[in-house]
Structure 1
Amino acid sequence: MKKLLNKSMKAFVLYAGIVLACSIPAYYAIVDFIWEHELKEHNRIMSEATRQNLQAMSLSDTELNEAVLLWNKLRPETQLQQVETARPDSTYNIYRKNKYIPSKGWDRFQGLVTYFPINGKTFRLTQEANMEESHETIIAIAAVAFVFFMILLGGLIFINRKISEKLWLPFYSSLQKIKTFDLHRPEQIRFEPTTTEEFEALNHHLEKLIDGNIAVYKQQKEFTQNASHELQTPLSIVKFKLDLLYQSKPLSEEQSGIINDAHRSLSKVTRINKNLLLLAKMENSQFNGKEVIDLSALVASHVVLLEDFLEDKQLTVQLQLAPDVSLSGNKVLVEILLTNLIMNAVRHSIPEDTIRITLTPARLEISNTGAATLDEKLLFRRFGSSSPNTTGTGLGLAIVRQICQLHGWKEQYLFKNNLHIFTVTWA
């Protein structure tokens, strides 16, 4: 994950780098073109000045020949030669080894060849100029441009980061408040006012959304708690009446079966009611008390308490308990967590199979064999039917998740090697 500011800055720097890379050959082409054009003009001006000066001197043929020889010796970069016929002017570029400074290597020259008459004779003037300095000029210009470009880029990045940090400060402030918000301990959030229209609109709608969620959450908790309390009395009455009916005058086998079915359904409804009431109490933070719990001893004692359920399916328990594993938590809730996890393993185990319980200083793992994986999306949800053959209330694993959330633990389900593995991690 990358911050939004870094993503935009990366694109900006990448674009700037591409522009810089493209500007270097552009600098070279433009400066070289200007330099070459100026040298052409220089050669043309020098050639024209030479022509006019020679024509204005009115030399004799002998003096002219001597002047040409002297000119060629004094100006080796030019050559004045007599030719038979005149031709159109032309230019050329040539690389030639520097005969005066051999260590300098090869130099680039641009030449102009022009023709003009003197004393009725046609002469050819070759005028050359060294272009090697253009490369040095181009390198110097590119280096200076690069330095100033980097200074400009660095300044823009620094200024943009400082401005962005100030502009995004209301956003990060709002984000921090949202991170600390807990729906189980709802408190109204009021965001700090900002002069940025977009952030002000965002904060306004977030406040409306959070206030609405808090209101709905409180209504749901009150409904669950009130419904559970109100159901306790009629459920007890129905159970009492069924017990009286079962103990009354002799019943037929069919009537006895109907009463037993009603008892089983009533027991399930009673368990659902108790579990809903337990969830409501946890959501209302009625289990705040914590103590240091000897988890190794608690797990071992719970396996003994649930022996009847294990014997019904002829299950065996394989214990791997690290000694003296202790953690801080609410003992009542930890006992409920252990009961729900072990009973969940019992319900989904194949008869005459083995349940494995492993306890380490960092986690508790309970596994049992199974034919197929459970639906993880529904597994820890209230009344989520993770398996079509379940006989539970649909609240046991939801209670496990709620207990883990209250203690800051992490629950996890994994199906591996035909094993349902439930893990609670606290370290």
Structure 2
Amino acid sequence: MKLNRKVTNIQFIITLTAAPFALLIMYFSFNFFLEREIDKKLMLDESKIANLIENGYLSYKISPFAGFRVVSDSIAISQSVKNEVILDPFLNKNREFRTLTTIKKINGIHYLIYVKQSLVERKHMVYVMVTVILIFIVFSAIIFQIFFWKMQNKIWQPFFNSIDKLKKISLGDETFPKFDPSDVDEFNMLNKELNFMTNKILSDYLSLKEYAENAAHETQTPLAIIRLEIEEIMQDDLPNRVRKRIYKVYQAANRVSLLTEKLLLLTKIDNLEFNKLEVVNVTDLMLKEIGELDLLIKQKNIAISVLVKQDFKHSMDLYLLSILVDNLLSNAIKHNFQNGKIEIVSERESIAIKNTTFENVEVTNVFKRFYKSSKTENSIGLGLSIVERIAEISKLHVKVESLGNTITFHIQKKIV
């Protein structure tokens, strides 16, 4: 759920939750103030009746809901106000009235004066007012929701612009977009930090890229000289003991050279320098690579079976795909035993490579950098790490299974 939708929903829920409490408060408040007004009117009417009595209008007909009568002198002077249900002579049915009863001594005589006021109109007025306010609250909440939904895209547009620019950032372009200032302080703060962060990332990336390229170049040159000199020395007539020691140095130089190449490749992959996407047929490339590795396969007399149910096609960089396929097949050959087997199964959404192996493989560690089993001393331990990293940036998933003396690598499309 989007943030603005969540905020408006919370506001709407709070409004609807608070509305009943607000209505109750208003209902009792209206009742209280209307009751006070009725009491004032009753007291005013009672004063008028007392004036009539005092002025001698004892036979004056007031109304069915107001009047007076003489009471015993022993009754104390008092006043009371209460609600009661009595018969309304006009409607001929019981209705609720508010009654003021006063005992006063006027001209030496005790009179009981009573005044009644119907409460039906008051209740009706309260109900009408509460209903109108309730309708107003609900209508206002709905209008506010509609208005906010209409305005939210405009309000949040600077944020969405920044997100769109972030999505388009690519390290391979070596240039990052600038985040424009906004009239909203919070978005200005965000864009300011994004500008600082992206500039720092770009600077660090360019420095790392330059360092990696320079280090690889400066390392490969002396290594090439060392290997060339060793090859020339080995052409001389040397004792076997010396020749073996020199050959170990030659192997170490080759290993360092290969390690440098692999680490540079990993750095370039991590920096997303390979981004020429195209739909490639993984199955066809796999079959082509098998042909190129035919000599190594024959050396170990490995039996290869290929089952193509459907071609596995995927959108990715062709160069990275060739490295991925080469590493997987080379791994299947290198870690296989004499007269072993390799089985390849191609389907529409995946391809699997299964091979026999002489190693006890730790499945949880196979993709770790520099991981090697005890029987693969000539391996530098980066081939499968490169496979996993290529798969990650190419939206592929690599799953490995080990059963007995076989290991299977499944390459399948990621479910987005």
TM-score range for the pair, normalised by the shorter chain length = 0.7 to 0.9
- Choose the corresponding residue for 1:270, options 253, 257, 264: 257
Q: In the alignment, what sits opposite 1:213?
A: 201
Tell me, what secondary structure is at the counterpart of 1:270? Answer: helix
- Choose the corresponding residue for 1:249, options 225, 238, 263: 238
Which moved further from structure 2: 395-404 or 125-134?
395-404
Look up the equivalent residue of 2:2 and give its one-letter code: K
Distance 1:285 1:327 in 2: 19
- Choose the corresponding residue for 1:412, options 390, 397, 414: 397
Distance 1:131 1:420 in 2: 88
Tell me, what secondary structure is at the counterpart of 2:172? Answer: coil
- Cα distance change, pair 413–362 in 1 and its aligned pair in 2 (3 A): closer
Return 5+ residue gaps in structure 1 as ranges: none
Is 1:359 equivalent to 2:346 in the alignment?
Answer: yes
Whether contact under 8 Å (1:228, 1:277) holds in the other structure is yes
Q: In the alignment, what sits opposite 1:340?
A: 327
Instruction: Please state how far the C-alpha of 1:340 moved relative to its aligned partner.
Output: 1.8
Distance 2:96 2:342 in 1: 89
Which moved further from structure 2: 88-97 or 136-145?
88-97
- TM-superposition CA deviations, 1:392-418 (whole Å, max 9, x none): 43543454356457xx73133456797
Is 1:34 equivalent to 2:33 in the alignment?
Answer: yes
Distance 2:120 2:297 in 1: 97
Instruction: Please state how far the C-alpha of 1:422 moved relative to its aligned partner.
Output: 4.8
Whether contact under 8 Å (2:344, 2:353) holds in the other structure is yes
- TM-superposition CA deviations, 1:78-137 (whole Å, max 9, x none): 5645543323211222345767657x8x64322122113578654433332221222221
Which moved further from structure 2: 160-169 or 348-357?
348-357
Return 5+ residue gaps in structure 2 as ranges: none
Instruction: Please state how far the C-alpha of 1:33 moved relative to its aligned partner.
Output: 0.6
Look up the equivalent residue of 1:149 and give its one-letter code: I
Q: In the alignment, what sits opposite 1:175?
A: 163
- TM-superposition CA deviations, 1:353-392 (whole Å, max 9, x none): 987654322233457897655369xx47xxx346786864
- Cα distance change, pair 21–262 in 1 and its aligned pair in 2 (3 A): farther
Is 1:322 equivalent to 2:309 in the alignment?
Answer: yes
Which moved further from structure 2: 365-374 or 175-184?
365-374
- Choose the corresponding residue for 1:89, options 76, 79, 87: 79
Whether contact under 8 Å (2:391, 2:398) holds in the other structure is no
Tell me, what secondary structure is at the counterpart of 1:190? Answer: coil
Which moved further from structure 2: 38-47 or 143-152?
143-152
Instruction: Please state how far the C-alpha of 1:179 moved relative to its aligned partner.
Output: 1.4
Distance 1:331 1:337 in 2: 10
Distance 1:296 1:82 in 2: 116
Q: In the alignment, what sits opposite 1:48?
A: 47
Which moved further from structure 2: 365-374 or 325-334?
365-374
Q: In the alignment, what sits opposite 1:57?
A: 56
Indicate the percent of aligned positions where both proteins have the same amino acid.
21
Tell me, what secondary structure is at the counterpart of 1:337? Answer: helix
Look up the equivalent residue of 1:409 and give its one-letter code: S
Q: In the alignment, what sits opposite 2:123?
A: 135
Tell me, what secondary structure is at the counterpart of 1:217? Answer: helix
Whether contact under 8 Å (1:43, 1:127) holds in the other structure is yes
- Choose the corresponding residue for 1:111, options 99, 112, 121: 99
Q: In the alignment, what sits opposite 1:393?
A: 380
Distance 2:53 2:272 in 1: 112
Aligned pairs for 1:124-203 within 5 A? 124-150=112-138, 152-153=140-141, 165-196=153-184, 199-200=187-188, 202-203=190-191
- Cα distance change, pair 313–43 in 1 and its aligned pair in 2 (3 A): farther
- Cα distance change, pair 170–375 in 1 and its aligned pair in 2 (3 A): farther
Tell me the C-alpha RMSD between the 2 structures. Answer: 4.6
Whether contact under 8 Å (1:411, 1:422) holds in the other structure is no
Which moved further from structure 2: 396-405 or 40-49?
396-405
With normalisation by structure 2, the TM-score equals: 0.74
Distance 1:297 1:241 in 2: 41
Distance 1:422 1:164 in 2: 46
Distance 2:401 2:41 in 1: 86
Distance 1:348 1:100 in 2: 109
Is 1:2 equivalent to 2:2 in the alignment?
Answer: yes
Is 1:295 equivalent to 2:276 in the alignment?
Answer: no
Is 1:239 equivalent to 2:238 in the alignment?
Answer: no
Look up the equivalent residue of 2:81 and give its one-letter code: T
Look up the equivalent residue of 2:211 and give its one-letter code: F
Distance 2:372 2:103 in 1: 104
Distance 2:364 2:198 in 1: 33
Look up the equivalent residue of 1:412 and give its one-letter code: H
- Cα distance change, pair 413–58 in 1 and its aligned pair in 2 (3 A): same
